[in-house]
Amino acid sequence: MQKVYLIRHGETEWNRQLRYQGQRDISLNEEGRRQAMLIADYLSQENIEAVFSSPLLRARETAAQIAAKHGLGIHLEECLLEIDFGEWEGRLYTDFEEEQRLIAERWFINPESVSIPGGELYPAFRERVLAGYQRILHGNNKSKVLVTHAGVIRVIVSAVLEMPANILARLRLSPASLTILLYDDWGNPYLELLNGASHLTGR
9 is catalytic: yes
DSSP-assigned beta bridge partners for residue 74: 51
Catalytic residue among 11, 61, 77, 82: 82
**Cα(84)–Cα(25) distance, integer angstroms:** 11
Local structure of residue 26 (DSSP, 8 states): P
Catalytic residue among 9, 61, 120, 149: 9
70 is catalytic: no
**Cα(149)–Cα(164) distance, integer angstroms:** 19
- Cα 165 to its chain centre, rounded Å, is 16
**Cα(126)–Cα(6) distance, integer angstroms:** 16
Do 148 and 136 form a contact (C-beta atoms < 8 A)?
Answer: no
Positions marked active-site:
9, 82
